[in-house]
Amino acid sequence: MGRKRFKDHIFCKCAGANKTQIVYSCNLNFHTVVPYIELLIKNGLAERVEGEIVRYRITPRGEEALAHLRELEKLMPEMAVVEGLA
């Protein structure tokens, strides 16, 4: 039985990653990851970096949000849904 993850957790290990790296690192599929990435970008938590290979990276606002999530997970360990987040 899989555990749900917060939508912004996909960048915990994937800052500066291409879509394939995000998919494999976060155990998602390509169809599922697209709405997550779009939501992160829409909320200013991540940005798309154009180049030969499109990459995505966390923004300063995303870093701040991630720090808050880590603090929350210290208070409520059962919320830790991404291995190695804490």
First to last CA, the chain: 22
Residue 86 CA to residue 67 CA, distance in Å, equals 10
Q: Which residue has the tokens 């830790």?
A: 80
pLDDT for 11: 53
The whole model's pTM is what? 0.70
Per-residue pLDDT of the chain (86 residues; tens, 9 = 90+): 344 555 545 555 444 888 888 888 778 889 988 998 999 999 999 999 998 889 999 999 998 998 888 888 888 877 665 444 43
Fold of 8-78: Arc Repressor Mutant, subunit A (1.10.10)
Domain ranges of the chain: 8-78
